[in-house]
């Protein structure tokens, strides 16, 4: 006989492991003593002990199977992949419980499988399988949703912060702040100096000017 350790999950009996049923040595010895008493001349032996063997009793966390059925279940149990479980009726069920995935249905949505026996949808994409383009789409969608939930005042404050960051980036890339850029450009124009460096300063100042104007309108 075989015994299977059972766990109840989502109202399904799940087999955790399968092993041989143990012999109740004390009960078997008592049975053999009684047998020898009733059969004078019979010699105590290992063969007789095994013939009279009494199986141990187990609690409700175990189910007992015949050797044939238990062995068949054990083969199935050992062949499961990481997202499968074996039910006590011998059926193999999917186990994606706790798995989060992304699915696109007009927009990106993140779902979570809450129970065993629920398969992973065919069009589901696990987080680590997302492409860079898909990650950007999700980020942009979440950012737009976040902005939609902001009040006009909150959106204005956030835009001002972004403009300030952009202005700092322009200063770093140009290698000079607004005041220095204006002095350099004034000198270049008055001196007739041209070239890539001057063009870069003019481009930076034009971009910064547009951002400063927007910032003033928001303040």
Q: How far apart are CA 17 and CA 72, in angstroms?
A: 13
Contact yes or no for 69/76 (Cβ under 8 A): no
pLDDT at 117: 94
pLDDT > 90: what percent of the chain? 53
pLDDT at 163: 92
Q: What does the mean pLDDT of the chain come to? A: 91
Pair 90, 104 in one domain = no
Query: ∠113-115-118 over CA atoms, to 5°?
Result: 70
Pair 38, 60 in one domain = yes
Task: Report CA-CA distances (Å) from 117 to 85, 88, 103, 114, 154.
Answer: 9, 14, 19, 10, 45
Question: Average pLDDT for residues 178-187, to the nearest whole number?
Answer: 84
Contact yes or no for 81/6 (Cβ under 8 A): no
Pair 165, 137 in one domain = no
Pair 105, 82 in one domain = no
Residues 6+ apart with CB under 8 A from 194: 188
- Count of structural domains within the chain: 3
Pair 66, 117 in one domain = no
pLDDT exceeds 80 at position 219: no
Beta strand residue intervals within 69-180, DSSP E: 84-86, 92-94, 100-104, 108-112, 125-126
Structural domain range at position 180: 151-218
pLDDT at 129: 96
Pair 131, 214 in one domain = no
Query: ∠110-116-121 over CA atoms, to 5°?
Result: 45
Pair 110, 193 in one domain = no
pLDDT at 19: 93
Pair 85, 11 in one domain = yes
Pair 23, 88 in one domain = yes
pTM: 0.63
């Amino acid at each position: 006989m075989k015994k299977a350790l059972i766990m109840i999950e989502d109202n399904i009996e799940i087999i955790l492991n399968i092993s041989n049923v143990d012999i109740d040595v004390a009960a078997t010895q008592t049975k053999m003593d009684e047998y020898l008493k009733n059969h004078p001349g019979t010699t105590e032996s290992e063969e007789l002990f095994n013939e009279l063997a009494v199986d141990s009793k187990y609690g409700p966390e175990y189910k007992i199977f015949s050797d044939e059925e238990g062995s068949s279940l054990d083969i199935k149990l050992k062949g499961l992949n990481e997202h499968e479980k074996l039910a006590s009726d011998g059926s193999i069920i999917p186990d994606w419980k706790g798995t989060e995935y992304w699915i696109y249905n007009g927009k990106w949505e993140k779902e979570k499988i809450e129970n065993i026996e629920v398969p992973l949808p065919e069009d589901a994409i696990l987080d680590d399988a997302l492409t860079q383009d898909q990650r950007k789409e999700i980020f942009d969608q979440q950012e737009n949703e976040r902005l939609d939930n902001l009040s006009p005042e909150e959106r204005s404050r956030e835009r001002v912060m972004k403009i300030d960051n952009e202005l700092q980036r322009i200063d770093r890339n140009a290698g000079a702040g607004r005041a220095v850029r204006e002095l350099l450009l004034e000198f270049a124009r008055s001196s007739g100096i041209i070239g890539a460096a001057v063009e870069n300063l003019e481009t930076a100042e034009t971009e910064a000017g547009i951002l400063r104007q927007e910032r003033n309108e928001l303040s």
